[in-house]
Amino acid sequence: MTEVKGSDIDIVTEDGTADAYLAHPADGRPHPAVLFYMDAYGLRPHLRAMADRLAATGYTVLVPNVFYRAGRTPVLDLPEVIDPAADPSIWERIGPIMAAHTPDRVLRDADAYLRWLAGTPLTTDGPVAITGYCLGTRLAVRTAAAYPDRVAVAAGFHGGNLVTDDPESPHRVVDTITAELYFGHAGDDHSMPPEQVAAFDAALDAAGVRHRTEVYEHAKHGYTQSDTPAYDRAADDRHWAALLELLGRTF
């Protein structure tokens, strides 16, 4: 694996300053850019480790604290093992912050993140890749739809609520996507049951979006997150293989 350099940076947005983690090969040369969208638990050591692992394969990876309006990292004081079953107050605290992260805020911020990646000498020219986890899957879809000329590929893992009755549901915006998409859905996920998976695929098919959908049977929502009880080593390994294959074919 390539030696990696990681650092904390700030990105100016229309609404303030987002703190973020940046990981890239230590050679200082430009590499393809990956915008890494966090899950609802936020930017924390586990996500930094994931970004480092991805950067070691030859990418410049940006992980923004998308909840920066609520505070700098750590936005929430969370235990080393995050288990809402043991502490229901975790979601009581996260819920209002997630609700405040509206689609218009998502897109304003995405523009800032993409512009930052385009402007740094650590990235190669051209469109970026996106990978998103849980909440981050929705952000990845919205970003790919809003900025089709700036996103080459996007992947989402154990995303939830991609098809809802909301007029701004993610499945309603996919018709502008030109990127190739990959989704690794959790097989045991009340936020993305089989009927939602089918409806989301139907929306992508109707829009003519190139995509591949896989359901990781028996994996739980959050299967890539090793600091939670949902972690599943086999499903996580499968996610890494799928993500690196997608990026490798693209860049």
Q: What is the pLDDT of residues 130-147, one digit of tens each?
A: 999 999 999 999 999 999
pLDDT of residue 227: 98
Report how far residue 76's alpha carbon sits from residue 38's, in angstroms, rounded to the nearest whole number: 14
- To which H or E segment does residue 37 belong? strand 33-37
Is 239 one of the catalytic residues? no
Is 218 one of the catalytic residues? no
Q: 221 lies in which domain range?
A: 4-250
With a CB cutoff of 8 Å and minimum separation 6, the contacts of 75 are: 42, 65, 67, 68, 97
Q: Choose, from 24, 101, 185, 221, the residue flagged as catalytic.
A: 221
Residue of 132, 141, 133, 129 whose CA lies nearest to 103: 141
Rounded (5°) CA angle 210-142-222: 85
Report how far residue 191's alpha carbon sits from residue 56's, in angstroms, rounded to the nearest whole number: 32
Q: Hey, is 251 helix, strand or coil? A: coil
Which two three-digit tokens encode residue 176?
């502008």
Is 189 one of the catalytic residues? yes
Q: Choose, from 134, 171, 201, 232, the residue flagged as catalytic.
A: 134
Task: Provide the CATH number for the domain around residue 213.
Answer: 3.40.50.1820
Taking only the tens place, the pLDDT of each residue in 174-190 is 999 999 999 999 999 99
| % of the chain at pLDDT higher than 70 | 100
With a CB cutoff of 8 Å and minimum separation 6, the contacts of 66 are: 18, 37, 38, 101, 106, 109, 135, 139
pLDDT of residue 1: 67
| % of the chain at pLDDT higher than 90 | 99
Residue pair 125/156 in contact by the 8 Å Cβ criterion: no
150: left (phi over 0), alpha (psi -120 to 50) or beta: alpha
pLDDT of residue 82: 97
With a CB cutoff of 8 Å and minimum separation 6, the contacts of 69 are: 15, 16, 100, 101, 105
- Give the mean model confidence (pLDDT) for residues 120-126: 98
DSSP code for 123:
B
pTM, two decimals, is 0.98
Per the structure, how many domains does the chain have? 1
Q: Choose, from 39, 189, 201, 236, the residue flagged as catalytic.
A: 189
pLDDT of residue 127: 98
DSSP code for 159:
-
